[in-house]
């Protein structure tokens, strides 16, 4: 299917922009640009939320934001989602993905906890992964206070947030700890090296460009050896059996689409139940494009349906 015409128009404007690329701006300016674009792409999120602060395993203070539909506030323990945002380990945060998280909470009738993990280059690999571990354990330890059901916690993420989500599941399996009931992966980064056919086809001009992606990864990784660590590249893990069921949503015109398909195939080969959807005509990050395309509402609805189905399993 051709690229969605509204996205084609958006790309034309973006590609004509004389503003320096993110890799030329540096982390601070790139973050400002990303946050500014969020308002244009996804609007202002007006949903109510509550921020919590907890102490990480290395004694740092981390913030996690809870979106919870009002009827759940005083009811019986609710289902919950730990959400990990994208942004190449450098960009993004609680506000950039607020609309997506609020939509997930409302449509799936659950509590969504969005983690503000520490970002690069200030915090190198594996800090974001360690923060994810700590957040999951914090949810389990504080389930009574948070009024959530520890048997109905899913993990979700987009882009590198999807990498963190599935790496968390791999880690918990290896430690023989309780797993999430489901992993929701939106166009996850799963490969050590970005050399697939889709990376070559969409290396420039399709929003997430190869130079920008490599700049982000260079900010996060300590050295090239980290690329082969499954905490960064889940496809590097040799045994994916025993992981939770997965819902995987990909975009047709995304350089990451091939590695998303490859990860889905590895899960299926390991006997993991998966549901894979490739959204035609879409770009990377389209789940945050509510002001641009109708497919944003579609993918959010699909995620909610998958979560509801998982939460209803005995």
pTM value?
0.97
What amino acid positions are annotated as catalytic residues?
Answer: 159, 254, 284
The pLDDT profile of the chain, 314 residues, written as one tens digit per residue, is 899 999 999 999 888 877 788 888 999 999 999 999 999 999 999 999 999 999 999 999 999 999 998 766 566 889 999 999 999 999 999 999 999 999 999 999 999 999 999 999 999 999 999 999 999 999 999 999 999 999 999 999 999 999 999 999 999 999 999 999 999 999 999 999 999 999 999 999 999 999 999 999 999 999 999 999 999 999 999 999 999 999 999 999 999 999 999 999 999 999 999 999 999 999 999 999 999 999 999 999 999 999 999 999 87
Cα–chain center distance at 130: 16
Domain layout of the chain by residue ranges: 5-311
CA–CA separation, 94 and 283 (whole Å)? 22
Sheet with 50-55, edge to edge strand ranges: 50-55, 61-67, 111-116, 78-84, 148-158, 183-186, 246-253, 274-283
Cα–chain center distance at 239: 22
| CATH class in words for 5-311 | alpha beta
Question: What's the residue count for the chain?
Answer: 314
């Amino acid at each position: 299917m051709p690229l969605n015409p509204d996205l084609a128009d958006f790309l034309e404007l973006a590609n004509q922009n004389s503003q320096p690329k993110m890799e030329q701006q540096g982390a601070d300016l790139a973050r400002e640009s990303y946050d500014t674009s969020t308002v244009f792409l996804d609007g202002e999120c007006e949903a109510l939320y509550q921020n919590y602060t907890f102490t990480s395993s290395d004694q740092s203070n981390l913030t996690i934001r809870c979106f919870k539909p009002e009827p759940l506030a005083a009811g019986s323990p609710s289902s919950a989602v730990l959400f990990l945002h994208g942004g190449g380990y450098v960009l993004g945060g609680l506000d950039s993905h607020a609309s997506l998280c609020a939509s997930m909470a409302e449509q799936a009738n659950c509590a969504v906890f969005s983690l503000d993990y520490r970002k690069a280059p200030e915090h190198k690999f594996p800090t974001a992964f360690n923060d994810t571990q700590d957040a999951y354990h914090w949810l389990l330890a504080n389930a009574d206070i948070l009024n959530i059901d520890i048997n109905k916690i899913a993990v979700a993420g987009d882009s590198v947030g999807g990498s963190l989500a599935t790496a968390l599941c791999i880690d918990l399996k290896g430690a023989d700890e309780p797993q999430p009931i489901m992993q929701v992966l939106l166009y996850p980064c799963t490969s050590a090296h970005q050399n697939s056919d889709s990376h070559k086809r969409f290396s420039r001009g399709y929003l997430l460009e190869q130079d920008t992606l490599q700049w982000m990864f260079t900010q996060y990784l300590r050295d090239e050896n980290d690329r082969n660590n499954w905490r960064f590249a889940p496809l590097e893990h040799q045994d994916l059996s025993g992981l939770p069921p997965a819902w995987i949503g990909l975009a047709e015109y995304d350089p990451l689409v091939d590695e998303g398909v490859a990860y889905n195939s590895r899960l299926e080969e390991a006997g993991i139940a998966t549901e894979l959807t490739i959204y035609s005509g879409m770009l990377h990050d389209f789940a945050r494009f509510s002001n641009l395309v109708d497919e944003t509402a579609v993918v959010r609805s699909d995620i909610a349906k998958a979560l509801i189905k998982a939460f209803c399993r005995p």
